Every structure is written in C-alpha cells, then in structure tokens.
Structure 1
Amino acid sequence: MSNHWCKEKVEVEVHLNVTDEEFRTNIYPRRIPAVLRGLDIGECKEKWTTDYLCQHGGHKEVKVHVSPSSQMDFINKNFMYRTLPFDELVKRASATTNTDHFIHAEEKYYLRSLGDDLRKDIADVRKQFISLAEDIKFPKFFSEDDFFSSVFRIASHGTQLWTHYDVMDNILIQVSGHKRAVLFSPRDATNLYLSGDKSEVLDIDNPDFKKYPKFANVTWYECVLKPGDVLFIPALWFHNVISLEFGVAVNVFWRQLDSSFYEKKDLYGNKDPSAASRAMQILDRALKTLDELPLEYKDFYARRMVAKIESRAYANDLV
C-alpha cells in the first residue's frame, strides 16, 4: 500500500545467508530490524502443511483470539477468547469461510500459544508441541541461558495485529505464508499515542490525523516476509503485522539484559523492566502533585521536568 503521508519510509534491510557470528557481530549491535533470508530453519518450511499441522499438532486445546474484523484491536477488545483443539484451529484459520464458527462464517482467528499452566509456564513450542518442534531450528543468536520463550503464531488471511512493543529482543520465524511487517523506532514513542505498550492508532495505512496528528511524524520501516524468512525485532521497536495469507510463524524471545532487570513473574515477556515501571509510577505521582497548582504554575514546572528528563535521560546516538 502507498503511504504518501509518511515523513520517511525505510525498507528493512535484507541479509542473505548470515552466519550466527555475522549476526552477533555486524547486525545485532546496530539495534535496528533486519530480515535474515536463507537461514536453516529446519524441515518445517516444507513439512508444515495444514494436513501435517493437524496430524502432528493433534487435539491439544489452545486459547484463540476470534474476531469479526481482520483488524484486531487490543485496547477496545474487538475480539473474544475461545478454546479450540489445535487441529480445528488450523482448519478454520486456513479456510476462507467456515460452517462452524463463533460469530460469522468469515471470522478471523489468531493464535498466540501459551504455556500449559497459564499461571506458571512460559510458552515454549519445544515443550507444548514436541512433535512439531522437531521440525524447526532456532538460530543460535543468543546463549541458551538467555532464552525466554518460543511462541506459536497462527493467523487467518488478512489478520492485522495491533502496533505494540516487546521488552525483549526477538526473532519472528516465518514458516509459511507471507506477512507484511511495519515497524517504528522507539524514538517514535511520542508519536504513536500509546496506551501501555500498544498504540491507539489502529489503521496505520489510513490514520485519522485529526485525532492522531503526531502520527504523521513517524518514520515507517516496512518489509514483506516470505516463507523461511527471519525478522529480527530489537526490544522496544514497535511493530504492526499483517498476514497476507494464512500463515504459521514462531517467535523466539531472549533476554538481552541481566535477568535482574525483568519482572520475575512475567510469563508473557511483556512487562516493562522493573526500574522503568517504578519510574513511571513516580512520574504519575509527580503529575498528580502538579495538579495541586494553578495552571500557569503547573505548566511552568512541567516544562522544567521535561527539560530535566531531556538533559539526563535522552540519548542522541540511537535510531
């Protein structure tokens, strides 16, 4: 799609046949997204047909997002959670229409796999989908000690996931289907109208600039993933993903910071680092305190606070 309103549009760089060492030395330190093409991801690219997935994934029950719309909205919750056997999910998600459905025949399905015990276990395809996991190879970009989770992602054709960021580095291994990914730098956080870790701008191709005028200032990074491609998404980079057809992917997350930075009970890997959470809580209290002042004084001291943050916390050499 054409995005003439973009301040700047950047094609995500594609790197061919990258070795683990080349990734760690030349790509990883740059802290920008990269498409890695030609990696050995195992036999999954050839094997994971819908029939094969149904047979080897079996009847294991999975919790699924079901939406009447292809554009899923996590903030306003335009979807419902339902439980389906894995093979039934694959059949429904890969079909154009379904006789068996929850809302209507053309509803959309999205799986973000979870641990077996939702209160204790992280998602790891090697534990929850053992027979399928034998077919996929994870690039050795990080120490196994830093591994956090591996997540099955299955989506109907046309499904669009909301713009959000993750607090850990990750790779998206696109096994089947084509997927369009649009990414925004952490530097654009002030232009994305955030609600927690998610952007309120749902339709990024046709944004409402009256409601979201700052969104016109974002720099837009884009790529289309082919089967077998691996997308490196550095921590804090916002991403919006659209399935151009029925697709299967696996996300692998790892800790790039010392484990002490992360919330110990975070099973999804989406909670801000502990120090960041504390800082935001302190800021909320400070802003509440400023509300005690008349507007002229509140404005003056708020500007001083912003200036102090800019001088002490902003980095000038990041993307």
Structure 2
Amino acid sequence: MEINNENYIKKQVIQLKQINGVTRQAFLDEVYPKRVPMIFTGLDIGPCREKWTTDYLAQFGGSADVKIHVSASHQLDFINKNFLYRSLPFDKFVRRAANEDKQFFLCENECYYLRALGDDPRKDIAKIDKQFPRLAQDIVFPDFFDGDSVFSSVFRIASAKVQLWTHYDVMDNLLIQVTGRKRVVLFSPKEVENLYIVGDKSQVLDIDNPDLTQFPKFANVQRYEGMLNSGDILFIPALWFHNIISLEFGVAVNVFWRHLPKEVYDHKDVYGNRDPLPAARATQIVDRALKTLEELPREYADFYARLLIERIKRKAFTDDSFTDKS
C-alpha cells in the first residue's frame, strides 16, 4: 500500500502539554517523574525578553570571536556536514544572524547558528555567566534543580528558518526561549529503531517529508510537537530525541543538569554529550562481540547474533519506560 507521507505523519502527532506557572514542587512531584517533555509558560525568566534586542546583544555581548555554523541550507546536517565553521566577532555575528548585515561567506541566503562554547573548547564547559557575564545578569533560571547539579548553561542564537538535526542528549535540560519562536518536535527514546541513528543523531534530515524508500521505519514513528514562544520553556528529558526549527531569528539558553550520580558521567566530557560510562562500556562489549562473530560462517553469525538480540531484549528492555501516563 502506498503511504502518503504528510497524512500518515500527521496521524502520529501528540501535542506537547503546556503548564502555566508551574512551581518547583509541582515540577518535582508531577512532571519530573513522568519523564515526558512539556512546555512551561508564564514563568519569570528575567528582563532578557525585553532587553535582548539585536542592538542590546551587540552592545553587551562583547566583540570576542565566536565559532558559528554557516550553511547554504536551512536544514543543518551534522552527519554529512553541510555547513562550515567560521568565526566572527559576536557583535557582528548577531547582526548577520538577524539579517541586518548583508555580508556573507557562502551565499546571500546563508543561515547561521551559534552554540556557545567554553573559553577553551577543549577544557571549559559552556556557561553563560562565564562567556557572556553581562547578558547573564538579565536571565533568571527556574529553581527546578539544585545548583550543584547544573552542568552547563548554553547560549544559542539561530537565524530564521534554521532547523537543527535530530539528536538526543544524555542529561536532562530546559530550553529557555528568550526571543523568537521555535517549532519543536521530539521522539521518545523507544523510537530509536525507527530513527536510523548514527552516534547520537538521526539520518532522517527532513522529518516532515522523509524519504520512506530510504527510511521506511520512520513511517512508524510517533512524534511530540509544540510551539515555543518568547518566554516559554521546554523540558527535554535525557535520551529524548529532538528536532528544533527556528521560525524566526531568536535567542535561547539551555540549562543542562546531572540527574544521575556524578560518577556515571565522563569527567573529561566538556560538551555533556558523551554516553554515560556504563553505556559506553556496554557498547564496547557489543562491538567486541560482533567482531568475534565474524570468525564464524555467515549463517552461524546471523543465528547467534539473533540469539544475542533476543537475550538483550529479555534482560534489558523495559516495556513501560518513557510512557506518558498522564
């Protein structure tokens, strides 16, 4: 049976739930245990919503060079690298991203994306109060978590229409949309088999018009979708895949925090995107097992690989994990 991509995908959409004015206790008691993404509205994020115009950002964000993604395509593809890394003084970058400066690297319609890094990207974790101390005074983070559990606070700017690749993070985080609007699409960790993952990223770049000949399992995927307006906050639980589309020039800040014991995380990971150490070790063990199976004839390797898969399913899969029971 021929599948109409657009109509089929629309049947799989679950609208993200919104909660207005959620308190710390309500978050911890009613939201956090469910491990499902939600949008929070009506929270005080400080004067940044009104202050962070392009003029203000250019003035108080400084003129230090920042490393940015530059692409002729609005759909950024991290796997195939359809973008270049370039450096610009922050004040000049802001005006380019907002389409106020018509200079360009590749073409007139190129797009820009900044994911702020630490002062030394090899050693330093991104924290807005370190890299942009003056701007950090304008934003207030929700008190949903203990301060000593915070890993990073990542400053982000995207030009209009930029779409980030689908990926997952290993830490819980809040995406605070300060200015501009975003469309957010998320997929449960249980959709991993349908997302064609390489590392922590999906190969399906165009999630609205996927090539179902190349990615047939994507037809089975269920998505959670919502809109972020200025001042809204999206809770993204760890391991949930997310795809972010900037509908207009906008500024956002991600706050990531460690929700597992500290020793589970790789202490050398400054980006916060390496898999937990037990998961990394398990992956290495699987790689060695697969290499060992190559010593057998193909039909034997196929048989024992299937046995291993069934054993993993029986031992490790949890049927009710990551399910919205609300």
TM bracket (short chain): over 0.9
Q: CA RMSD in A?
A: 1.1
With normalisation by structure 2, the TM-score equals: 0.95
% identity of equivalent residues: 60
**What are the residue-to-residue correspondences of 1:238-317 with 2, within 5 Å?**
238-317=241-320
1:296 is displaced (CA, Å) by 2.0
Give the corresponding residue for 2:150: 147
Give the corresponding residue for 2:16: 12
What one-letter code is carried by the residue in structure 1 that aligns with 2:36? I
CA distance in 1, matches of 2:112, 2:208: 22
**What are the residue-to-residue correspondences of 1:69-80 with 2, within 5 Å?**
69-80=73-84
CA distance in 2, matches of 1:104, 1:300: 52
2:165 counterpart SS class: strand
Q: Which runs of 5+ in 1 are unaligned?
A: none
CA distance in 1, matches of 2:135, 2:227: 25
Q: Of residues 22, 27, 33 in structure 2, which corresponds to 1:23?
A: 27
CA distance in 2, matches of 1:313, 1:99: 53
Give the corresponding residue for 2:230: 227
1:291 is displaced (CA, Å) by 1.8
CA distance in 2, matches of 1:167, 1:309: 21
**What are the residue-to-residue correspondences of 1:113-128 with 2, within 5 Å?**
113-128=116-131
Give the corresponding residue for 2:163: 160
What one-letter code is carried by the residue in structure 2 that aligns with 1:203? D
Give the corresponding residue for 1:82: 86
Kindly indicate whether the alpha-carbon contact (under 8 Å) linking 2:76 and 2:83 is maintained by their aligned counterparts in 1: yes
2:145 counterpart SS class: coil
CA distance in 1, matches of 2:317, 2:175: 29
Counterpart check, 1:186 vs 2:167: no
CA distance in 1, matches of 2:59, 2:102: 21
CA distance in 2, matches of 1:76, 1:304: 34
Q: Of residues 45, 54, 69 in structure 2, which corresponds to 1:41?
A: 45
Q: C-alpha offsets along residues 212-269 of structure 1, whole Å, 9 cap, x if unaligned?
A: 0111111110001000000000000000000000010000000000111111100000
What one-letter code is carried by the residue in structure 2 that aligns with 1:290? L
Range that drifts further, 7-16 or 71-80: 7-16
1:69 is displaced (CA, Å) by 0.6
What one-letter code is carried by the residue in structure 2 that aligns with 1:231? L
1:99 is displaced (CA, Å) by 3.2
1:162 counterpart SS class: coil
What is the count of residue pairs matched by the alignment? 317
Q: Of residues 36, 61, 66 in structure 2, which corresponds to 1:62?
A: 66
CA distance in 1, matches of 2:8, 2:86: 38
Range that drifts further, 288-297 or 176-185: 288-297
Ranges of 4+ aligned residues in structure 1 off by more than 4 Å? none
Give the corresponding residue for 2:217: 214
CA distance in 2, matches of 1:312, 1:4: 37
